[in-house]
């Protein structure tokens, strides 16, 4: 199983509290990545897209949980 499908499965099994916590951490990670990029410390720029996609997945999961 690839890392992406493992991550998707992990997110789909989260409850509201876990998803909110992960969302907060992902947003903080993206903020820190932007700061590191400005200082020229980021080597792998693919991490930005991966983090943004994780944020989108978490937001989708939260909206699905709120509808239930």
Q: Give a yes or no: residue 61 inside a domain.
A: yes
Whether residue 1 has pLDDT greater than 80: no
Please compute the mean of the pLDDT values over residues 50-60 and round it to a whole number.
95
User: Half-sphere exposure of 37 toward its Cβ, with a 13 Å CA cutoff?
Assistant: 11
Is 41 a member of any domain? Answer: yes
pLDDT digits (tens, 9 = 90+) for 4-54: 889 888 888 889 999 999 999 999 999 999 999 999 998 898 999 999 999
Closest CA to 62 of 15, 5, 4: 15
Give the pLDDT band (50/70/90) at residue 3.
confident
The verdict on residue 52 lying in a domain is yes
Which own/partner pairs from 33-38 qualify as long-range (CB within 8 Å, at least 24 positions apart)? Answer: none
Decide if 5 is inside a domain.
no
Q: How far apart are the first and last CA of the chain?
A: 29
Its pTM surpasses 0.85: yes
In a domain, 3, yes or no: no
Q: Which domain holds residue 25?
A: 15-67
Does residue 8 lie in a domain region? no
């Amino acid at each position: 199983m690839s890392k992406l499908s493992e991550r998707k499965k992990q997110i789909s099994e989260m409850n509201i509290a876990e998803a909110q916590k992960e969302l907060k951490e992902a947003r903080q990670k993206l903020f820190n990545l932007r700061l590191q990029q400005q200082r020229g410390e980021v080597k792998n720029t693919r991490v930005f897209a991966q983090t943004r996609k994780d944020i989108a997945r978490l937001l989708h999961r939260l909206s699905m949980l709120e509808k239930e």
